[in-house]
Amino acid sequence: MTHQPVEDAIARTHRAEWARVVAALTRRFGSLDVAEEAAAEAFATAVERWRRDGVPANPGGWLTTTATRKAIDRLRREARRDHKHQEARLVFDDDPPDPPVVGDDRLRLVFTCCHPALSPEARIALTLRMVGGLTVPEIARAFLVGEAAMSRRITRAKAKIAAAHIPYRVPVAADLPVRLDSVLTVLYLIFNEGYLATGAGTDPVRADLTAEAIRLTRLVREVLTEPAGGNGEVTGLLALMLLIEARRPARLSATGELVTLGEQDRGAWDDALIAEGHRLVRERLAAVAAGGPAPGRFQLLAAINAVHTAAGDARDTDWSQVLALYDRLVHVDPSPVVALNRAVAVAEVDGPEVALALVDRLTLEDYHAFHATRAELLRRLGRGEEARRAYDRAIDLAGNTAETAHLVRRRGQLASPGGPVGG
């Protein structure tokens, strides 16, 4: 317990400085691998040293200096192993002046880790390791992958970045919207995996992952300096995450069952997160009204969630406003999943029959939410048998334990002429 203040300082510094240290070293040594290893060694040294000597006045500076020395040591060792190439590899002085910093190195790091030439799985793993500073075992646990497999995934991604010469820089303006979208998609996938965790053996909600996704999105927003560097989507994504995260305390029942938006205890929502989310949505509305770029999918999703969280009671939800926002969203993102969610709003405005007709036109046979939505609409239309079959399909496909429990209860509540229903 005597170490507690030091442990706290190390944890705090790790959160605040990890990405900065890795990013600075990657620029200096041109290798993610060298940067990652040296940063990890520097933090391990900090744990030892700071306990003994106390926390230095400038922990970030101390870590960067220590990590730089570790990296030079490693490169020297490697050079010594092969004398023939010693000269070629010894281009690293002990203390050369750093090249001038343009922008924030962490932004380069984010774009490199989320490069579209890497697989989505690799992008997520690499971002959590290099930018988020999570350990390989932590990332492996988060995605229910063995540690060895996760380690290989990260190693392979780093090897591709080096061999294929994926650049360490912020993309040129012409590429920025597409490349930024890749970054935001990675962050959103991390958040979603936390919010609706898959797998029978995992917690249904992974607060560590949602918190990490929010932290990384804040970081990207901070270093991208919107609106100059972006189109408002980073702000939109942050607002969206905050407004979803705010509802987390009300999302699971005491028995671990998913509670739908309409049934949630709104008093349990996090007011501070909602206030911040609403403020960001208003900021984007003002920017769009002032002639800024049209809102993208994250801003529209954030606005939809702002409408939901503005209603003190589910019955007060402004569904026509929600529907109007979905109408705009289907233009930006014409995917069947968006069309499905729009149909839920249609059910509230125009009734379940109209909504069901829309849903039945979609080809989402393997998506659990498609069947769950159909089941709810069929139930409202009094078509119990069809609803039951739709619940069955949804339960088969749902990967989240809390969601499965919710669907099983809903199915059990159907009036059953054939006797009690199992589950």
Partner 1 sequence: MPKYLLSVFGPAERQEFGDYPDKESMLQAFADTGAFNDKLVAEGYFVFADGLEPATTATVVDGQGDQPVFTDGPYLESKEHLGGFWVIEAPDLDVALRLAADGSKACRGKVEVRPFQTEESFRSVLES
Site map 386..415 versus partner 1, x via CB under 8 A: ------------------------------
Give dist(CA 191, CA 40) in Å, integer: 25
Contacts (Cβ under 8 Å, ≥6 apart) of 42: 21, 63, 64, 66, 67, 70
DSSP assignment of 144-202 equals T--HHHHHHHHHHHHHHHHHTT---SPPPTTTHHHHHHHHHHHHHHHHHHHHT--STTS
Of the candidate spans 59-67, 132-140, 165-173, 235-243, the one that interacts with partner 1 by CB under 8 A turns out to be 165-173
Based on the shown chain and the rule CB under 8 A, indicate whether residue 178 belongs to the binding site for partner 1. no
For residue 267, the minimal CB distance to partner 1 (Å) is 50
Of the candidate spans 122-130, 164-172, 183-191, 274-282, the one that interacts with partner 1 by CB under 8 A turns out to be 164-172
φ and ψ at residue 252, rounded to 5 degrees = -120, 140
Q: Which of 73, 175, 208, 360 binds partner 1 (CB under 8 A)?
A: 175
Using DSSP, state whether 128 is helix, strand or coil. Answer: helix
Q: Which of 1, 57, 102, 163 binds partner 1 (CB under 8 A)?
A: 163
Q: Toward partner 1, which CB reaches closer, 85 or 331?
A: 85
Using DSSP, state whether 45 is helix, strand or coil. Answer: helix
Q: Is the dihedral of CA 396, 401, 407, 413 positive or negative?
A: positive
How does 357-371 read in b/e, with b if 16+ C-beta sit within 10 Å? ebbeebebeebbbbb
Residues paired with 198 in a beta bridge: none
Which of 54, 40, 41, 43 shows the shortest CA–CA distance to 2?
54
Q: Toward partner 1, which CB reaches closer, 55 or 79?
A: 79
Of the candidate spans 166-174, 341-349, 359-367, 384-392, the one that interacts with partner 1 by CB under 8 A turns out to be 166-174
Based on the shown chain and the rule CB under 8 A, indicate whether residue 167 belongs to the binding site for partner 1. yes
Of the candidate spans 76-84, 134-142, 211-219, 267-275, the one that interacts with partner 1 by CB under 8 A turns out to be 76-84
Which of 280, 284, 296, 286 shows the shortest CA–CA distance to 241?
280
* Residues in 81-110 at the binding interface with partner 1, rule: CB under 8 A: 81-82, 85, 88
Of the candidate spans 75-83, 136-144, 243-251, 371-379, the one that interacts with partner 1 by CB under 8 A turns out to be 75-83
For residue 179, the minimal CB distance to partner 1 (Å) is 9
Based on the shown chain and the rule CB under 8 A, indicate whether residue 327 belongs to the binding site for partner 1. no
Query: How far is C-alpha 23 from the geometric centre of its chain's CA atoms?
Result: 20
How many C-beta atoms surround the C-beta of residue 117 within 10 A?
A: 11
Based on the shown chain and the rule CB under 8 A, indicate whether residue 80 belongs to the binding site for partner 1. no
* Residues in 111-150 at the binding interface with partner 1, rule: CB under 8 A: 115, 117
Q: Which residues bind partner 1 (CB under 8 A)?
A: 78, 81-82, 85, 88, 115, 117, 162-167, 171, 175
